[in-house]
Amino acid sequence: MSAADFRKLADLFPNETVTHSYVQDIILPGTAGKPGPGTFALVTLDNDLDHTKPTTLGPNTLEELGTVLEGLRDRAARGEIVGVGVTGKPHYLVAGADLSAVKSLEKREHGLWMAQLGHDVYATLANLGVPSFAFINGAALGGGLEIALQSTYRTVSTGAGALALPEAFLGLVPGWGGVYILPRLVGPENAVKVMIENPLSNNRTLSGAQAFGMGIADALFEPADFLEQSLAWAAGVISGGIVPERANAVDPSSPGAAARWAAAVDAGRAFVEAKTSNASPAPAKVLDILEANRTMTAAESAALECETLAELMQTDEFRSTVYAFLDLVQKRAKRPAGAPDRKLARPVTKVGVVGAGLMAGQLALLFARQLKVPVVLTDIDQARVDKGVAYVHAEVDKLLAKQRVSQDAANRTKALVTGSVSKEAFADADFVIEAVFEELHIKKQVFAELEGIVAPECILATNTSSLSVTEMAADLQYPERLVGFHFFNPVAVMPLLEIVRAPRTDDAVLATAFELARSLKKTGVLVKDAAAFVVNRILLRLMGEVTAALDEGTPAEVADNALRPMGLPMTPFTLLAMVGLPVAQHVQESLHAAFGDRFPVSTNLKKLIDNNVKALWETAPDGSRAIPDSTLKLMSFGSSPSTGEQVLRRVQDALAEEIGLMLDEGVVAGPEDVDLCMILGAGWPMFLGGITPYLDRVGASVRVNGKRFLAPGVASPAAG
């Protein structure tokens, strides 16, 4: 790119935190009494900030790196150096491009300049005239991993985590050579795993050992002396004593390579369809480039990558993903809206769990593992208590078998979890949470009993998914100490905690709840005490509309697949079966009581529950689905079927209405919290931006409420 274009691009990044390229000359060590091969230039990428500020790539960073590499190329031509290495500051090689800045690129040509600049710089690294080495000491994401891939050789630390090409997850493609180099280095099948399967599986990353095993790195060393070992290894390679083996490398022109390439691409497309219903363009674009570049030169692939990257940077899906990932999950989640001052939080040294069923066991395990404090389970008889404690111990044993905890940690966790048939065991607890049956009178009875046992400052919490926390507190002597603490199932996996403030819940109790959420490695979102709070209210409105369409006569296959263009993690009827028909119906009835006909109660579902039917679909061995005749005989249908498009629009408008009402009611501070809840509590796709950017994009927000939830530019390209 021209100097003028670079200057224009750099001006678009006025707040770039520059990652500097510091060069150090090192005399490489010799072996077996022989002198080393000569002087080696080591480039360390460092933004001069602590480990909480990852190194990133912006235009000024790339320009500095390019200038340094050009100087090293000149030195190599003069015979002054025998090799070049690139490494990073502690914990990072490079964490990729600065997404917040990239999101601000408003014109296609700006994205094209950014892509071309990266390729220009990386091409210099790949053509220094001497071998280049990447010493992957820490996280290497996106463009960071592509720096390593453009090097001639790579070492990786066993302590390095988060190696990935996550662009398909972010709504982009690997734009600086990764999509071309990786399949040739590790095979097209592994390339699809890294570029498609891992990103679309909750943004999974590779460890250093996994990257070495796959063939991304040529050597694996321990963290303690990683740099020294890497330099010695580089000396051996340059001297000719070490010749790296690359068992997974594939020449795309070799016999059988075309078939492998095609099979890998086909498998990738099937995976994308299953995960996203092709609702986001980026994963398909990655596969398009992979498919095309088998017969391309590196330069031809680079041109295609740049054009595709520039195109995708202007899509709603990319802007929505950055909004969801960066603005919400990375930022807002760490500073919850409405949370009181952290200094008000009280210490929690012992936890009580009322109940010993599956949810109670999951809670006990989480509290014991993360807080490392005593946890006591209670239930109505010893058999139930013993079963609950045994469940926790068995889960710890599973973690031990998977080597996710040490033997000592397993023993300590088991020792922390005990059981009792008497709630007197909670007398010295600081925090007691109930996980009993979802009936208001039962929960009120539990809290009345607890209040006669626990200390006045002990916090009482309910894990209710839909009932009124205000009603539970109504008859308490100290209603200000009751808080909603709603976990999502499975507790160990789902990161959301809906923290419910009733009208009289005090700030110290709320502050403690948020500090507990942080300690439990969960994201707390403050919600008002309103029926079903956020996630369940939205999901039940969605399922209620789809179920109503079925009851009206829409074919089940049409109703269940109508939302596929949204790319949701599962279909409505699959979710219904997973939640359990009785549980879903119970929450729906609560919502119907609170909000009326917006949440209709299906008589068909009632018939299925009464006859112990667990799911609408029955899946055949070949994967096909059908409603069994025995189930159909229990149901009755109307004569007003809808098309899939009509069901989709109906659901879109219903969700826009419900979220608009929730915001009017002050259930959460803003639409951002609705999105955060749906992403973390329901697995809503990042490329939708949660839910409100999607409803803005399809016009439902304006159709129903007369206005967008988010301003243009927040999770979409800026207006005009």
Catalytic machinery residues = 146, 167
Distance linking the first and last C-alpha atoms of the chain: 27
Q: Bridge-partner residues for 94, per DSSP?
A: 140
Cβ partners under 8 Å of residue 382, min gap 6: 421
**What does each C-alpha distance from 309 to 8, 142, 276 come to in angstroms?**
19, 13, 20
**DSSP class per residue in 588-624:** HHHHHHHHGGGSPPPHHHHHHHHTT---S-EE-TTS-
**What does each C-alpha distance from 117 to 64, 148, 173, 285 come to in angstroms?**
11, 17, 16, 21
Length of the chain in residues, anyone?
A: 720
Q: Quick one: which of 181, 108, 197, 192 has its CA closest to 149?
A: 181
What φ, ψ does residue 534 adopt, rounded to 5°? -115, -65
Q: Quick one: which of 365, 343, 348, 347 has its CA closest to 356?
A: 365
Structure tokens at 424: 């007197």
Give me the amino acid identity at 45.
L
Q: Quick one: which of 173, 191, 195 has its CA closest to 183?
A: 191
Cβ atoms within 10 Å, residue 697: 18
Q: Quick one: which of 684, 683, 654 has its CA closest to 540?
A: 654
d(CA 216, CA 183): 10
d(CA 76, CA 129): 6
Cβ atoms within 10 Å, residue 8: 15
